[in-house]
Amino acid sequence: MSSEDRDLELAILTRRLLSAEGYYTELKVPVFLQFYGSTFRRSTATDVDVLGIRFDLDMTPTVAVVEAKSGEDKALEELLKLRAVAEYVRAARMYFVKTRVHGNAREVGRSLGIVSASKGELTQMLRGLGIDDGDPYEEERKSFTQQKEWLASMRRIRGMRHLANYIEAEAWSRSYWENVHNLMYFISGFLEHSRGKPPIWAEFVVLRAVAALSVSVLHLCRQIMLSSLADVSGGVGTFVFGGAAARRQRERLRDEILKILPSLDGMTIPIEPQFLDGLKELVAYLLLSPVASTKTPLVFQEAIDIVAVGGGRFDATKWSGGHDPVSIKLAKDILQFAVGGFGVTGPIENLSAFLAL
């Protein structure tokens, strides 16, 4: 077995642990750095072996990052990388998993707030929680490799490259309100582009984008719970822009544009996105059932794995049946909101089996 395969094995085992703790997780997430030289550029700085997020009952998010590497060498270098990545994605929990972890590396990890575990200790934790500690299933490996292959295929299509980068990486580092706007536009654009003959990875793209959207909408719900439960509609109208100051800044920009463009005299430039009314309704539903709402990303995670293993189609016979029915209903509400936000619905019919759960 190659070192890359051994690394993936450790990552999958750690993913099992985080999933049992209620985390929505993704494997091998690239970290892109954006900068201007002569032009705007984006480059891959590193990747995160496992990146996960979960929400408490009051919608407080917790992000976890994992560095999973085979062997025994380079521990200090990997620990420092993990700490830097955690800072970049605002992670509160950090795990360092290695075939064997020496005592000095554990001490450095402890001082950095990182939980260190050897493979043996990881499997012991899995057994203690009643989770399978055996080698990764073929389905687990296939789901990972197939998703990466589809994302690579998307990047070879010029119009799909930005979407692939966004759903794989950028959504993790952007603010929640940027994600809500950007993902809604990406989803509607992809559905429009895929009319007639959708690619084999169409269901995967929709589900992966909506999974990221569900996380961002839960972040939005958190803002509402903190400040405006008595006025959910007004709170969504404010925090969909990141807050009152950000909304006011947009209003001022709109007003300045109208001043300098006389040809627009008598016209208006709307501040609110087209999907705002639907978002207000969705958030209201999510806040009525906060326990079930926090599990909706996990519903999408299983659906994504089924599509990846099933050759691009969702097969309801593979559904585990282990999710709260309310969580499933809310996940379907999020999906229907996402694909209907701009009035474009194809190829949503390909996900009718998911909507029928």
Which pair of structure tokens corresponds to residue 167?
Answer: 């759903």
User: Which alpha helices (DSSP H) does 70-155 contain, by range?
Assistant: 75-88, 103-111, 119-128, 138-155
Indicate yes or no: pTM above 0.75: yes
SS3 category, 227? helix
Query: Do 161 and 155 contact (CB within 8 A), yes or no?
Result: yes
Q: What are 71-123's pLDDT values in tens digits?
A: 877 888 999 999 999 998 899 999 999 999 988 889 999 999 999 999 999 99
1 or 28: which carries more pLDDT confidence? 28
Which residue type occupies 226? L
Locate the domains of the chain by residue range: 3-136, 140-259+270-355
Which of 37-46, 59-68, 144-153, 168-177 is predicted with the least confidence, judged by mean pLDDT? 37-46
Query: Do 201 and 150 contact (CB within 8 A), yes or no?
Result: yes
Q: Which one, of 35, 33, 63, 36, lies nearest residue 50 by Cα?
A: 63
Query: Do 296 and 331 contact (CB within 8 A), yes or no?
Result: yes
pLDDT at 198: 84
Confidence of residue 258 (pLDDT cuts 50, 70, 90): low
The C-alpha atoms of residue 194 and residue 221 are separated, in whole angstroms, by 31
* Alpha-carbon distance values, 311 to 103, 194, 201, 307 (Å): 45, 18, 8, 6
Mean of the pLDDT values across residues 36-44? 61
Q: What are 177-198's pLDDT values in tens digits?
A: 999 999 999 998 898 888 778 8
Q: What are 295-353's pLDDT values in tens digits?
A: 999 999 999 999 999 999 999 999 998 999 999 999 999 999 998 876 555 556 668 88
pLDDT at 343: 59
pLDDT at 202: 92
pLDDT at 267: 59
* Alpha-carbon distance values, 228 to 55, 178, 218, 224, 235 (Å): 19, 20, 15, 5, 6
272 or 303: which carries more pLDDT confidence? 303
Class assignment of domain 3-136? alpha beta
